[in-house]
Every structure is written in C-alpha cells, then in structure tokens.
Structure 1
Amino acid sequence: MNAAASGVVSTVTGVHFAAAVPLWALAGLGLLGLAALIPAFRARTPGRWWRLLVLALVLGWLSGPNLVRQQWRAQPDIALLVLDKSGSMSVHHRAAIAEAARTALVAQARTIPNLQLRTITVPEDGAAGTQMFGAINAALGDIPPDQLAGIVALSDGQIADLPAKPGFTAPFHLLLPARGEETDRRLRLIDAPRYGVVGGSVTLRYVVEDLGPVTLGGSADVTISRDGAPATVTNVAVGAVQSVTLPVTREGPSVVLLAASALAGEVSPVNNQQIVTINGVRDRLRVLLISGQPDPGERAWRRLLKSDPAVDLVHFTILRPPDKDDLTPLDQLALIAFPEQELFERKIANFDLIILDRFQNRGILPAAYLANIARYVRNGGALLLEAGPEFASPQSLAHTPLGTILPGQPTTPGAPDDMMDFPAPLVDVAPAGSGITVAAFRPRLTDLGLRDPVTADLSGTEGQATPDWGHWYRLIDAQSVHGQVLMQGAEDRPLLILDHVGQGRVGLLLSDQIWLWAREHDGGGPQAELLRRVAHWLMKEPALEENRLSATIDGGALTIDERSLLPGPPPVVAITDPAGMVRRLPMSTIGAGHATLSVPVTQPGLWRVSDGTRTAYAASDTADPPEWADLRATATKAGALIASTSGSAHWLEGAAVPQLRLVAPADVGGGFDWIGLRRNSAHVTTGIALTPLLPPWAALPLLLGVLLLAWRREAR
C-alpha cells in the first residue's frame, strides 16, 4: 500500500509458506500422488475425491502455510535542490532569479505530503569550474536510493563535472535563470608569455570567439592598451587566431589589456577582455668598471660585481698613465692594450652601467670619448663615479665634457700632489685649500636619505639618520651640488649624490673609503648592500624609484605601495575597479616617505590607482577562468543527462516557477509548467507476526478424519 504521509504505520495481512521439505521433494510427492489417483478416476471409484482431498491436506501441511501480519512505516520521498553559486551565476540577475525560485520551491515542498526537500549549495571552486556533481554525490551519500525522488538544479547549465553516466536513476531537472539559449563573445588567450627580456619583445596570440546556438562569424574591434598608455584598435576576424608583438622597454611588471568590442545581445562583456602581466627582466647586466689606479676599493668593487651571477663585468685598471715615460719597453707595459675606441665609441651603448673608480683625466681618454660617455648617459645610460683625491686635482673629470652631467663640482681647481695617493685612513689634517676634508666621521643619512628607497632601511639604520657604522676618514668637498643628497659626511658635507640627467642617471660618491666597511673597520657597514642598491637604481630598477606608486594583486587583495621624497601626510588614493567605480581611501604611513594600503579585490579585471600625480595599474585574473570562459545560460551541455534520467529543463526569467509534483516513475518528465518527482513508496517494516494455518495438532486429526470418511465411502 502507499502511505499517505511519512511516519504512518500500516498493517498488511498475507499468507506465507514455510515448507518442511525442499520444494523439489514436495513437487515430486504431489506428482506421485496424482499418478496414483489416475486409475481411481478412470474407474470412477466412489472415494476418489476423498483421496484427492487427503493428498491436498498432506501437501498443504508439508508446505507450512502461515498467516502473516506485517506492520510498515512509510518513508518520505527525498528531493535534492541544488543551488549554483559559482561565479557565472553573478551575471545579470541570475542570482536573484535563482534565489526567488529556491524560495518558491521550498514553499511548495512543504505542502506536498511525504516529501522532503534538501538544499545544497555549489560554491565557487578555484580554477576548476562549477563542480556541481561533486556536491551532488556528496549529498547523495546520506539519501537511500529507494527514497530519492529527483534532483532539481538552479543553475546556468555551465557544469564542469558532468558525468558520462549518472550514479542515480531519479530524474534530473534543470531550472535556468534566463529566457532561453544565450549568445556570448569572448576573447581567449592562446599564448601569453609572462616574462620578457628588456630590450626584446614578446608575442601574444589570441582569438575572438562568438558562442551561441548559431555560428555568427563576422569581425570585432580589439583594443590593446599597456599601463594606461593610449590604446591601439585593430579590426580582426572572429574565430581567427591573431598575434600582437609588444616591446619590453623596462624592468618590472607591465600590464597589457586586450578588449574585444561587445556583441549585440551577448550575455556580458566581462570575458571580452583579457589581462596579461609581462615582467621585464634583464638577460645579463653589462657593467664596465674602470679603475684609475690600484687601490683597496678596487677589490671591493670586483668582489661585489663578480658575486652577482647576473652581471657581466668588464674591468680595466690603468696601471700607467700615457704621459709617464720611464723607458719601459712597450711589450712589458700591459697584457693587453686599453681598447678605448671599442669601448667608448663602438660598444658604449651595450653597457647598462659604467663605473669610474678614482679615474682622472691624464690623457688616457680623449675629450671626444668623455663626451660620448656624457651623451650615453643623457640617452638613458648610467654612470657611477667614486671620487678620491684625484677629483680635486687639475686632472679632475669635472673639468672635462663629463663634468656637465656630474651632480657636484670640486671646490678648488686642484689638490697638492702629495695628497693624491694618500691611502692611510689615520691622517689628521689636510693642507688648506686642498678641497679635501680629512677627519674621522661616520656616514649618515640626510632627510632625503631616510625617505629614498636606495638608502632607507639599510642594515643598521632602523630609521635613524646616524647609524652606528664604521668611520671613514676622507671626504672630497663639493660645490654646485644638485640632485638628491642621500648621505653626508664630516661637517654635513655631501657624501652620496644621485641625479637624473636626460633619460639617464648619475651617481657621485665623494669618498674612496667605502672599502673600509668591507674590511669591517670600526665595525664596518652595509658596503655591499649600499653599492648594490645604488647600481640598481642607476639601472632603473622599479623597486628603487624614489617617487613611486605601485599596485600589486595577490591573495585576493590589492596592495598599494607609495614612496615619496616630499614630506607630508600619506596621500589619499583613488582606486578605480574594473567596473569603473571609484573609491578614495587614505594610505597608512609605515616609514619615512613610505605608505601602504591593502583593499580586497572583489572582481576580476584591470584596477587603476592614482594619487593625483602618479598612476599605477594592477591586473586581477578571474578566480576561476573556466567559469568565466563561457557565460551563456544553456541547457545543451546537460541535455544528455536530462534525457537519460527522464528529466526536464525550464527557463525561469519571465516565467512562473514550475510546480513540484510527486508522480509515478513513468510521469517524472513533467509538463510545461510542472516537474515530476518520482514517488517511491519506500517503507520500513516495524513488526511481523506469523500464525500457522495447519498446526500439527489440527492437521493430524483433520487428516485422519478425511481418511476415515474416504474408507467408509469406498466400503459401501
């Protein structure tokens, strides 16, 4: 029987046979008995019917008939309501339509006797798409198969884990929050390198595709922009693979946005764009180091540059100036000739950085080559000059064409000759008017130095302008100083100056005694760290820019980092999300000239950050690329599954929510405005009572009585 409601107890009465002998023996006994009765029926013996009755009683007794009374408790039919909350369900009003349908279905289920409706949610699942059947199979583990009435899924039909064969037989119904099969345009990346060598180029390959029930074809406009620069627009054929080559002009990340024009009637333009972050890296850093004369600092430079596997070092030391004539044979002057023409005329542009270590103008380099160095810097090159007493001499590079790009000039036209090569750090005084300060001092940071990334947070500073670094003992006095003075020495005189010249950069270190730190003199100091930062700033490493606004996205958060040499409160930044909404938020100070801010990333796309002067870009990839690759609502993907389970598909937008009905298994497909759930009539037996119909105490007298009647009938 079918119970009207779950939990109702019903009683069923029937007959059950528990044979005392095997069925084959019982059947054989019956056949033998009938064979023995055949002669009696042919001869029309008067007691033949009584004999047949005796045989029936014997067979009935041996079959063990019992009267059975069973008590059943009806079990409810269970339907599973699956609510898709993956990323694609956030398009348009899908989430609201699905939620309204869920509310209506839950209310309907409460009015249907013997039906339970269990709701599960399919959340966003990383980069694997909508894993609906993973959630369904987990839920089915708690539902007995004979109670499953059906599965109703509120989804756009973009299911990533559709099984080839479902693990259930109940109907699968798909309710889609749309009006019908939709169309969508997408821009898909085929090849997008994440890294490129500075000075080279990278090639992106992409295709624009139109998805829908009908192949549309045609063309689309593709806009390509980079770091907010003016965009280029190209008309491309839909479905054809396209290529675009982009130069890698600088080190660090560069954000490229590719966006296809919208398709009329498409679901959403969200997947019409793709964002690629290309990180510019240097293949090898080519450094030219020229030491004017052997000194202890030369070894410090070599050790620093040779320890970096990314540096190709070319090093020359001038052992003997050309104006010195000591009658030494030419074949004994040096191992190789100084290739000044090759270095400073033909190949100067190949170097990323030129370092002049205590180099003085004694006719080694003609003025034309020094002018080439100045031109090289103005065109984007980098120069670092470590000055010793030679900088204050008549042969100072400041008095050459190179002096036009230096951020400081010596205070006197020339130092006495006996000061030129004085190496010891323990000298107490310098001759008056030499332009050289000789005194023990600790290098310390200026106010700009505390804010500039090159010197801020150096080991031992801990935010202090005067760290406990080892002493130096010689400082070259400078005048006409311009640029950024980051460190100072004795009597607050400039020690380290950095400056921008044209498209390039220049650094001037007004002492030749940084090597004392390398030898741990008086406790030493961050020699390698400081020189490495200066060198990389000169080669335009983005992380060391003194006035910089950067934005990165990692772990679902947009992190904004700001560096500034200007004093004042941290800026208020304008954050523009991919949808064009703008928020203005204040940054938090974490150090001198250093502020930061972190905000959650709520949607994929290009994020723009501006402090009113500078602009930074960050790209947020989609959290689940397969989920956003196809945004159509479609019943096509799940069509085979729906057919194999006798389910149905219904479009919800602009239509009423279908009615739930518990029906016979043959009718579960439903109709135009209703869906069928399978009635299982599942039950649990709660009790059984057996009453023998022919107990031995009754069967034996009955059998004897019939035999007696049969004998008396035949005796007449």
Structure 2
Amino acid sequence: MTSSIVFDPLVPWPLLVMVAVIASIGVMLALLRGLRGWGFRGLAGLVVLAALSGPSLLQEDRAPLSDIVILLEDESASQRLSDRADQTAQAADSLAATIEARENTELRRITVPDGANDAGTELMSALSEALAEEPRARIAGVIALTDGRAHDADLPVDVPAPFHVLLSGREEDWDRRLTVLGAPAFAIIGEPVTLTLRIDDLGAAPAGVTQTELDISIDADPAQRFTVPIGEDLELPITLPHGGRNVIRFSLPEAEGELTDRNNAAVIQMNGVRDRLRVLLVSGEPHAGGRTWRNLLKSDSSVDLVHFTILRPPEKQDGVPVDELSLIAFPTRELFMEKIEDFDLIIFDRYKRRGILPSLYLENIAQYVRGGGAVLVSAGPDFASADSLFRTPLGDVVPATPSARVLEEPYLPVVPELGERHPVTQGLPQNGDWGRWLRQIEVTATSGDTVMTGIDDRPLLVLDRVGEGRVALLASDHAWLWNRGYEGGGPQLELLRRLAHWMMGEPELEEEALTATAEGQTMRIQRRTLSAEVPPLTITGPDGTVTELTLDEAAPGRFETVFTGPEIGLYRLENGDQTSVIGLGPAAPREFVDTIASAEPLASQVASLRGGALTLTDGVPRIRNVNAGRPAAGRGWIGLTRRDAYETLDVRQTPLLPGWLVLLLSAGLITAAWLREGRR
C-alpha cells in the first residue's frame, strides 16, 4: 500500500491565489501597525487557505506486474542457409530458459516468416505488431535472433526498452550473386540490344578468383556458356529471335562452398517487335476494290508499303513513245531478285502473267516463301484463266488449284468449324448478318487450312505454311463490298488486318501456340490449336518438380487453365509439341539478394535504443539488469531494464481538514487574535 497527499481545491486556483495574496497583505498591515495579534491572524488565514485547497490523503493498494521480454525469431528463407536455423533455434531455447527463470519476468516468442509477395524479412513490422498487443510500461527489452537482413529496417518503431540483435551466420560465409542492372522492356527483332549484368562475390570469398562461367539461354533453347569477369559491369549484346515475349535466362554454375545458388540466376522477359513491316503490293489491274489493300496497309503506321499498279501492260500498243510516258517502269529485277528479302510480305492483287515477271523471278519468289517469306494471292477472274499465277513456278507453293470456273452469283462467306478455331477468323465481329459477295473463283484446296468457305462450301480463304514461310489464297476479289457497306457490309478491315499480320508471323495470331501470363505467383496458361482436344499440360518448376494439369476448353481452338506456383522462379511448360517458359517473380527472391549476415541494416535502431549487436558464434550472451537510459550491452552480455510496473487494486481518499475542524481552528485563532489585541 502507498500513500500520498493530493489537493482538490474548492475554488479555482487563480481565485485561491488571490485569497492568499489578500490574506498576506492583511497580515503585513497588522504587523506594520504593531498589532500584537498578527500571528494569530496569519494562522487563521492559513487554515482557511488550506481548507479551500482541499487536501486529502490518497491511499492505493497495488499489485506488482511482471516485466515482458520480446524474443523475435527470424525464420525467413535466408535463415535456412547453412546451419543458421540450428544456431537460431539453440540460442532461442537457451535465452528462453534464462529469461523465464528470472524473477517477475514473462517471455513473448515471436516467429518472423517470409513476407508475402516477396516482401522479404519484415522483422520490424512483426515487432510493431507485438508491441501493439503489450503494455508499453512492462516492456523490459527486445531481442532479435536474425541474420540482420531485415527489409523493413527503416520502419520507425517506438520501443521503450533496449533493442538487441544476435546475429546468426559465420565469418567464413561467402556467396556469388548475379544481378541484372539494366534491361529494356522491348527490343527490335534481329537487332542487338545491350543488357547490363554484374557478378559479385560477397563475404569471405576465395582469394584469386576473378572469372566465372555464365550460361545464357533464350526461351527453351539450349544454353550457351561464356567466361566473364567478377566484380565488373558486363554489357552483353542480345538479339531476339522472334516477336512477342522472349524469356532470357542468365545463370551461373554453383561454386563450391557458396551459401546458395538461388541468386545465381536472373530471368528477363522482353517483347520482340519489328522495326517496320515492309510490304510489297502488286496490283495486276485497276478494279473497284483496288484501293482496299492500300488503304488497309497505309492505315497502319508500322507498315512501310511499296505499291505498284500495272496501268499499261507491255502488250498495249497505242503508239505513244515510251520516252513520253509519265508512268514509272516496273523495277522487276530490283524488287524480285535483289531486294526481295527486304520484304516481310508480298501481295498479288488480281495479278496475272503478262510478261512482266519472267519465270526466273517467280521461281525466286517461291524460294523466298520456302525460306521464311510470305505471299498473299487475292484472286480475281485472272486466277482462273490461262495466265493464272498458279500456272507459274509460284503455283508450287499456292495451297489450292483453280478449276478455270468463275462463279458469278451472290453468296454469304461462312466461317466453318476449322475457321472458328483459327485466330485469323475466330470470333470475327458480327453486327447482324454479313453482306453477300458476288463472285468466287472455284478452287480445290490441296494443302493448308480452309478457314472460310463460299458457294456450296467451296474454299474461299485457304492458309498454308510452306517450308519456313506462309502462303494465303483469297479466292474472291469482292471483299471490298463489305467495306462499302453492301447489304450491311462486314468485318472486312479486321479480316484483312488479321490475315496480313498472320502472314507476317505475329505471335498473337499463331494457330498453334502455348502462352502464359503471370500475376504475382499465379499464371494463366492458354493453348491455341486447330485440334479439337489437347493432351495434358506438363509444368516443370524451378526445383524440378513436375506437375500435370488438364486444359479446359474456353472457346473453339482455345484451352486454358490457371496454376499457382509454389515458389518464385522459372517454370517450363510443355503441351504436345509446344513449349514455353515463364518467370514468376524475380529468379532470385529478395531473401537471397544479400545473404551474408550483417547487423548494418539494423544498426540505427540498435544504437538509438542503446542496445547491442552480437554474433551467436561467440556464444549466447549473459543477461543483466540495467537502469533506464544506460548502455545495455557489452562484451558477452546484454541488458534488460526493470520496469517496476504495477496494477492498482483499490484507491481510498480521506480529507485531511474536515469542515468542523476548519471551523473550530479558524474561530479559535480569530478569537485569540482579538483577545490578544484587546489586552485580555
């Protein structure tokens, strides 16, 4: 039980002070006038002032409360390197036994796991949450068992007691780390782009080692190995092989004695784009839809278009001297022999043999297709004639044979079941019924995929792959009717845009493809195919674990599934003959960026709270009591501050001057002063 005197004035303090001043003046005047009762007058004033101040005796019954010590145990991924987990566990058990054996002390053991979404070690966040649940007045100290690599070390935490860090790890620990310092989000296909890497040896690395091996692989291709220096910025030129997403993986072989190989790899995902799409459009003769292809290709800012229209064929004899013509001669040799490889796509719009392109040039175009080029034939009546392109060396790569019939009747273009699965014609927009076309060239498909049909299900649009290249045949020259809005029109621009971009190998329009997009550690996998079903999907994780999943059909020709990766890293996907790779998060999680134990990240927190940073290799430190505000760590010991906290069980308040006593004393003193001054 403790006692103290408290005051509860009956009047405001300023008024009480005013009364005291008036009483003091009265006593001084009595003294100056020589009144012999001035002492009794003063005592009477003091009694009145004391009564007005309301003095009371406050008595409290208190129960002492125990001190609380918070023990943080770091169990993040970096703490599982080497023997750090055993070091930490043994030290935690030893400290727990010592603290629990202390008089009037409680222990709170807090486990700190890996942070969500690769946030790293959130040590200070865990401490802040623990402090929020405990009374500040009872916190005697905080002890953190960690490797020091806290990724929220800058988080301000108001700890009312010493903060100590006990480091795991060993002086001889070392690690090799690969870091990507600079990589663009996209690059132009076929042109080198420079990436900046750096390889560092951290900690007590072996002396004299200045070089190491670096493996580089793109997508699922075999890796190429190079010898590179350590401790220098490396500028590496990389050339992307294809459009769309390219996954580039850099990796180092694991060195003997290093802590981990989890930071020996880095994954970069870059989009390959074409600088400019170069298209050659050759119009055989003017017709109503002659500007359709030109307008479509000119509307795309990424397309460089070279367009030739044959306005005056060689057989035309009108008597005009050649040197007086304003028309440009067709540079056939330059286009189809010398610079043909510069073009990504060649379009023949209603072209027929007229002696302009010799067989040698057309054979060169066929070889251009087999080597990876693309040719689109937009056929009119000329394709069914004796002068058809099919009756040239180019006919060897055309996927359909003309029957010499031109069908002149209205019909509605139809997308068959195969076309519903092909990206070129899948889901073409429909605003009601499409308008009809009025002419079709009768052909028989000999290869490839028929993705649109016309009269009596005859092939209308046939797509084929020849060698490394692509060929398309549109067996009608009436697609322009859709653009003019005939009978409501149709998706002419969308169809021709998709067709042109499929011919140029755009990844989004590949009919056989396996792709994946990642959000956090969840990936959405999509398989595009012309088949009605697909085999199970095989996923190989960073640690070699193989998972098999079933793909569900989301739309004709498109199968999907969702997979959540158990860990961050590079995943390899396989489905039939299609393969793909995708990286979930960084190849090296944040926990493995810095793996050497160090108290530096937490140094400011330790210093501001007068704690200490010791290593567990020197043994578990002793625990001492220290006064608040004093240094709380030394060689082989750490200190805790006794808080002497208590709980108040009961409070009693007793007035020291009851009313009757004040009345009696004041009346007696005033009477005594009056008698003294009256000489009685």
Give the TM bin, normalised by the shorter chain: 0.7 to 0.9
* In 1: Cα distance, 2:654 partner to 2:457 partner: 109
2:472 paired residue among 507, 512, 523: 507
Cα deviation code 1:244-301 (max 9, x no counterpart) = 2111221111111111222333332111110011210112211111111111222221
Q: Where does residue 564 of structure 1 map in the other structure?
A: 529
Aligned pairs (5 A) from 1:322-471:
322-330=314-322, 333-411=325-403, 434-460=404-430, 468-471=433-436
**What displacement does 1:526 show?**
2.0
Quick one: percent identity of the two aligned structures? 39
Alpha carbons of structure 1 residues 549 and 103: separation in structure 2 relative to 1, 3 Å: farther
Alpha carbons of structure 1 residues 160 and 181: separation in structure 2 relative to 1, 3 Å: farther
Cα deviation code 1:89-129 (max 9, x no counterpart) = 56678779878987997896698636474858676265765
* In 2: Cα distance, 1:87 partner to 1:69 partner: 56
* In 1: Cα distance, 2:90 partner to 2:453 partner: 70
Contact 1:344 1:372 in 2 (8 A): yes
* In 2: Cα distance, 1:454 partner to 1:15 partner: 91
Is 2:554 aligned against 1:590?
yes
Equivalent position SS for 1:506:
strand
Q: Where does residue 71 of structure 1 map in the other structure?
A: 60
* In 2: Cα distance, 1:308 partner to 1:100 partner: 68
Using the size of structure 1 for normalisation, the TM-score is: 0.78
**What displacement does 1:446 show?**
3.5
Q: Where does residue 150 of structure 1 map in the other structure?
A: 141
* In 2: Cα distance, 1:134 partner to 1:624 partner: 23
Is 2:263 aligned against 1:299?
no
* In 2: Cα distance, 1:501 partner to 1:306 partner: 27
**What displacement does 1:566 show?**
2.8
Q: Where does residue 477 of structure 1 map in the other structure?
A: 442
Bigger shift: 508-517 or 345-354?
Answer: 345-354
Q: Quick one: which amino acid aligns to residue 618 of structure 1? A: I
Aligned pairs (5 A) from 1:251-270:
251-270=243-262
Bigger shift: 384-393 or 331-340?
Answer: 331-340
Equivalent position SS for 1:637:
helix
* In 2: Cα distance, 1:532 partner to 1:277 partner: 27
Alpha carbons of structure 1 residues 436 and 683: separation in structure 2 relative to 1, 3 Å: same
Alpha carbons of structure 1 residues 125 and 610: separation in structure 2 relative to 1, 3 Å: closer
Is 2:574 aligned against 1:574?
no
Q: Where does residue 495 of structure 1 map in the other structure?
A: 460
* In 2: Cα distance, 1:515 partner to 1:691 partner: 109
Equivalent position SS for 1:530:
helix
Alpha carbons of structure 1 residues 67 and 444: separation in structure 2 relative to 1, 3 Å: closer
Q: Where does residue 521 of structure 1 map in the other structure?
A: 486
Equivalent position SS for 1:439:
coil
Contact 2:174 2:203 in 1 (8 A): yes
Equivalent position SS for 1:441:
coil
Is 2:542 aligned against 1:542?
no
Q: Where does residue 202 of structure 1 map in the other structure?
A: 193
Alpha carbons of structure 1 residues 205 and 686: separation in structure 2 relative to 1, 3 Å: farther
**What displacement does 1:198 show?**
1.3
**What displacement does 1:140 show?**
4.9
Aligned pairs (5 A) from 1:676-715:
676-681=640-645, 686=651, 689=654, 691=656
Equivalent position SS for 2:573:
strand
Alpha carbons of structure 1 residues 590 and 652: separation in structure 2 relative to 1, 3 Å: farther
**What displacement does 1:206 show?**
0.6
Is 2:272 aligned against 1:280?
yes
Alpha carbons of structure 1 residues 201 and 59: separation in structure 2 relative to 1, 3 Å: same
Equivalent position SS for 1:444:
coil
The number of residues matched between the two structures is 650
* In 1: Cα distance, 2:610 partner to 2:47 partner: 49
Equivalent position SS for 2:290:
helix
Contact 1:453 1:544 in 2 (8 A): yes
Contact 1:87 1:124 in 2 (8 A): no
**What displacement does 1:304 show?**
1.6
**What displacement does 1:407 show?**
1.4
**What displacement does 1:700 show?**
11
* In 1: Cα distance, 2:652 partner to 2:168 partner: 48
2:176 paired residue among 180, 185, 188: 185
Cα deviation code 1:561-584 (max 9, x no counterpart) = 1122233x3321110011111111
**What displacement does 1:606 show?**
1.1
Alpha carbons of structure 1 residues 447 and 124: separation in structure 2 relative to 1, 3 Å: same
* In 2: Cα distance, 1:142 partner to 1:213 partner: 41
* In 2: Cα distance, 1:101 partner to 1:59 partner: 69
**What displacement does 1:460 show?**
3.6
* In 2: Cα distance, 1:122 partner to 1:62 partner: 67
Is 2:569 aligned against 1:605?
yes
Equivalent position SS for 1:384:
strand
Alpha carbons of structure 1 residues 470 and 660: separation in structure 2 relative to 1, 3 Å: farther
Unaligned ranges ≥5, structure 1: 1-9, 33-53, 412-433, 462-466, 706-716
* In 2: Cα distance, 1:559 partner to 1:175 partner: 43
Q: Quick one: which amino acid aligns to residue 571 of structure 2? A: W
Equivalent position SS for 1:402:
helix
Alpha carbons of structure 1 residues 691 and 215: separation in structure 2 relative to 1, 3 Å: farther
Alpha carbons of structure 1 residues 528 and 123: separation in structure 2 relative to 1, 3 Å: same
* In 2: Cα distance, 1:110 partner to 1:469 partner: 87
**What displacement does 1:74 show?**
5.2
Equivalent position SS for 2:184:
coil
Contact 1:127 1:623 in 2 (8 A): no
* In 2: Cα distance, 1:62 partner to 1:114 partner: 50
Equivalent position SS for 2:236:
strand
Unaligned ranges ≥5, structure 2: 29-39, 673-680
Q: Quick one: which amino acid aligns to residue 606 of structure 1? A: L
Q: Where does residue 617 of structure 1 map in the other structure?
A: 581
Is 2:159 aligned against 1:173?
no
Q: Quick one: which amino acid aligns to residue 444 of structure 1? A: V
Cα root mean square deviation, aligned: 4.6
Alpha carbons of structure 1 residues 347 and 681: separation in structure 2 relative to 1, 3 Å: same
Contact 1:182 1:634 in 2 (8 A): no
Contact 2:569 2:588 in 1 (8 A): no
Alpha carbons of structure 1 residues 611 and 119: separation in structure 2 relative to 1, 3 Å: same
Q: Quick one: which amino acid aligns to residue 306 of structure 2? A: V
Cα deviation code 1:369-402 (max 9, x no counterpart) = 2223222222211110001110111211112222
Contact 1:668 1:678 in 2 (8 A): no
Alpha carbons of structure 1 residues 147 and 547: separation in structure 2 relative to 1, 3 Å: same
Alpha carbons of structure 1 residues 121 and 537: separation in structure 2 relative to 1, 3 Å: same
Q: Quick one: which amino acid aligns to residue 62 of structure 2? A: R
Aligned pairs (5 A) from 1:69-108:
69-71=58-60, 73=62, 76=65, 77-82=67-72, 88=78
Alpha carbons of structure 1 residues 321 and 119: separation in structure 2 relative to 1, 3 Å: same
Alpha carbons of structure 1 residues 273 and 688: separation in structure 2 relative to 1, 3 Å: farther
Q: Quick one: which amino acid aligns to residue 218 of structure 2? A: R
* In 1: Cα distance, 2:115 partner to 2:155 partner: 23
Cα deviation code 1:180-229 (max 9, x no counterpart) = 67432210111112210112111111111111256855332211111121
Cα deviation code 1:327-368 (max 9, x no counterpart) = 234466444332323322332222111111001111122223
* In 1: Cα distance, 2:187 partner to 2:74 partner: 40
Equivalent position SS for 2:572:
strand
Q: Quick one: which amino acid aligns to residue 499 of structure 2? A: V
Bigger shift: 646-655 or 340-349?
Answer: 646-655
Cα deviation code 1:401-433 (max 9, x no counterpart) = 22222112322xxxxxxxxxxxxxxxxxxxxxx
* In 1: Cα distance, 2:86 partner to 2:418 partner: 55
* In 2: Cα distance, 1:195 partner to 1:148 partner: 54
